[in-house]
């Protein structure tokens, strides 16, 4: 008697067993070998830096459909999709303009090549005992930065699984960003715990901005608020890292994070540009979310747990907090200027709509 009597297994297993029986008799299907003739014979040329995404996504495989394929499966762009492939309803972001940026593939290549880690790439052995006010300021600044880095990973994670697989350059870039941000929150938290201090006070002001990012009504407004506005402010701040870094350790942390943030901002600018070129009538939605963001960041920037530790570090100690506050006012003006410039590159004239001062007139306020 057969070990596999009919009816012993479910229909799905029976289909599999039937196929095995056919194969055992030497009957193979092999249709897959002749599938997708248009995609066969693809040639790649690795560049001097290796085989990048943009080296393989050329020709037939470089065609990104403006409306993502409607089959809604996880089939990779460029393969043949059998008609019986099930459509999956969770992929709801199917318009290229909703997510695309011309530099997404390039930024992904850069992200994977420039991975670093907080275990061995930060010279932790250079940590030294710091004056109490400086250590407290570093720890408070790192508490705030850890808090903000959480949202930077959560935002792309919130949208990633909805994006059509035809836009894999964007999906890969966002996946790299999620890991970049994990590294950032890890390294700032680690620094707070590493030198005899610890975490200090969370920032209620910060929570408002972070919530606005997660609650944005669609991906593009969320991206404008986070990639261009929030991360742009952080990037400008990190570029001034020497002001805020008492030892080689913090300098290295800022330098490493800065190269990652530059990618995130670059994606945001190019995405908004791509979007607005195709949907100029939707600029108002972007303005509206930036109205909210600007209000939140102004509250946050001037919250004591954010502004005071930065001023102490920028001044070199509590005794020089005045000098530090002036330096931070200078950085704030730079943050606003670069933010407006980035939006201008993306095709959004924000200057007439700006809801916060371009400068904090620290000296005038003190007078
Ligand atoms: Fe970050
Ligand atoms: Fe970032």
**Count of other CB atoms within 10 angstroms of residue 166:** 23
Expressed in angstroms, the distance from the first to the final Cα of the chain is 100
Cβ-proximal residues to 46 (8 Å cutoff; 6+ apart), any chain: 52, 55
Q: Distance, CA 306 to ligand 1 centroid (Å)?
A: 17
Q: Distance, CA 274 to ligand 1 centroid (Å)?
A: 23
Distance CA 291, CA 286 (A): 9
pLDDT at residue 297 tops 90 = no
Residues 142-161 pLDDT 10s: 999 999 999 999 999 999 99
Distance CA 157, CA 149 (A): 13
What percent of the chain is predicted at pLDDT more than 90?
82
Q: Distance, CA 314 to ligand 2 centroid (Å)?
A: 23
Q: Band the pLDDT of 87: cuts 50, 70, 90.
A: confident
Q: Distance, CA 70 to ligand 1 centroid (Å)?
A: 34
Q: Distance, CA 152 to ligand 1 centroid (Å)?
A: 6
| Residue that the structure tokens 């990779």 belong to | 76
pLDDT at residue 4 tops 90 = no
CATH fold label, 96-366: Ribonucleotide Reductase, subunit A (1.10.620)
pLDDT of the residue at 362 = 66
Query: Tokens standing for 64?
Result: 């990104």
Q: Distance, CA 264 to ligand 2 centroid (Å)?
A: 5
Q: Distance, CA 283 to ligand 1 centroid (Å)?
A: 26
Distance CA 299, CA 307 (A): 10
Q: Which ligand is nearest to the CA of 150?
A: 1
| Residue that the structure tokens 């949208």 belong to | 159
Q: Band the pLDDT of 267: cuts 50, 70, 90.
A: very high
Q: What angle do CA 186, 192, 194 make, to 5 degrees?
A: 95
pLDDT of the residue at 192 = 98
Distance CA 236, CA 160 (A): 26
Closest CA to 257 of 319, 173, 186: 186
Ranking 4-13, 277-286, 292-301 by mean pLDDT, the lowest is 4-13
Q: Distance, CA 180 to ligand 2 centroid (Å)?
A: 7
- Work out the average pLDDT over 91-105: 95
Q: Distance, CA 264 to ligand 1 centroid (Å)?
A: 8
| Residue that the structure tokens 């606005």 belong to | 212
CB of 247 closer than 8 Å to CB of 353: no
3 state DSSP class of 351 = helix
Distance CA 250, CA 127 (A): 9
pLDDT at residue 70 tops 80 = no
Q: Distance, CA 231 to ligand 2 centroid (Å)?
A: 6
Average pLDDT, the chain: 93
pLDDT of the residue at 71 = 64
pLDDT at residue 315 tops 90 = yes
Give domain limits for the chain.
Answer: 96-366
pLDDT at residue 361 tops 80 = no
The gap from C-alpha 349 to its chain's centroid, in whole angstroms, comes to: 24
The gap from C-alpha 303 to its chain's centroid, in whole angstroms, comes to: 25
pLDDT of the residue at 47 = 87
Q: Which ligand is nearest to the CA of 177?
A: 2
Helix extents (H) in the chain = 11-24, 53-56, 96-99, 104-113, 132-160, 168-194, 204-215, 219-223, 231-239, 241-244, 248-278, 283-301, 304-315, 321-346, 362-366
Query: Tokens standing for 23?
Result: 């194969």
Q: Band the pLDDT of 207: cuts 50, 70, 90.
A: confident
The DSSP secondary structure of 252-276, one letter per residue, reads HHHHHHHHHHHHHHHHHHHHHHHHH
Helix axes 304-315, 283-301, angle to 10 degrees: 70
- Work out the average pLDDT over 218-231: 97
pLDDT of the residue at 90 = 87
3 state DSSP class of 95 = strand
Q: Which ligand is nearest to the CA of 268?
A: 2
pLDDT at residue 176 tops 70 = yes
Length of the chain counted residue by residue:
367
Q: Distance, CA 338 to ligand 2 centroid (Å)?
A: 16
pLDDT of the residue at 89 = 85
pLDDT of the residue at 363 = 65
Residues 329-358 pLDDT 10s: 999 999 999 999 999 999 999 999 999 999
Cβ-proximal residues to 346 (8 Å cutoff; 6+ apart), any chain: 224, 228, 268, 269, 270, 272, 273, 276
Q: Distance, CA 6 to ligand 1 centroid (Å)?
A: 59
Q: What angle do CA 252, 256, 259 make, to 5 degrees?
A: 140
Q: Which residue has the higher pLDDT, 362 or 277?
A: 277
- Work out the average pLDDT over 46-67: 93
- Work out the average pLDDT over 312-318: 96
Q: Which ligand is nearest to the CA of 265?
A: 2
Q: Distance, CA 129 to ligand 1 centroid (Å)?
A: 27
- Work out the average pLDDT over 14-30: 93
């Amino acid at each position: 008697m057969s070990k596999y009597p009919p009816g012993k297994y479910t229909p799905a297993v029976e289909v599999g067993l039937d196929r095995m029986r056919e194969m055992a008799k030497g009957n193979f299907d092999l249709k897959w070998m002749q599938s997708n003739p248009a995609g066969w014979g693809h040639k790649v040329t690795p560049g001097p830096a290796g085989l990048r995404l943009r080296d393989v996504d050329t020709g037939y495989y470089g065609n990104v459909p403006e409306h993502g394929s409607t089959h809604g499966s996880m089939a990779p762009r460029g393969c043949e999709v059998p008609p019986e492939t099930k459509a999956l309803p969770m992929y709801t972001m199917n318009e290229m303009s909703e997510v695309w940026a011309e530099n997404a593939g390039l930024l992904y290549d850069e992200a994977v090549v420039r991975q670093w880690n907080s275990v061995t790439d930060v010279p932790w052995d250079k940590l030294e005992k710091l004056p109490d006010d400086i250590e407290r300021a570093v720890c408070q600044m790192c508490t705030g930065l850890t808090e903000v880095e959480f949202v930077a990973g959560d935002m792309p994670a919130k949208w990633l699984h909805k994006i059509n697989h035809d836009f894999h350059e964007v999906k890969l870039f966002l996946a790299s960003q999620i890991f970049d941000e994990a590294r950032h929150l890890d390294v700032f938290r680690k620094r707070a715990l590493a030198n005899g201090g610890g975490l200090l006070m969370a920032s209620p002001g910060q929570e408002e901005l972070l919530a606005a990012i997660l609650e944005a009504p669609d991906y593009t407004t969320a991206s404008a608020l986070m990639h261009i506005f929030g991360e742009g402010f952080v990037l400008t701040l990190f570029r001034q890292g020497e002001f805020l870094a008492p030892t080689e350790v913090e300098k290295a942390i800022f330098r490493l994070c800065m190269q990652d943030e530059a990618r995130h901002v670059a994606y945001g600018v190019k995405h908004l540009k791509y979007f607005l070129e195709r949907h100029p009538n939707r600029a108002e939605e972007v303005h509206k979310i930036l109205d909210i963001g600007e209000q939140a960041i102004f509250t946050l920037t001037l919250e004591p747990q954010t502004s005071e530790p930065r001023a102490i570090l920028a001044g070199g100690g509590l005794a020089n907090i005045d000098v530090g506050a002036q330096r931070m006012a200078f950085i704030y003006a730079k943050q606003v200027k670069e933010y407006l410039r980035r939006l201008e590159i993306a095709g959004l004239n924000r200057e007439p709509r700006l809801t916060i001062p371009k400068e904090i007139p620290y000296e005038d306020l003190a007078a």
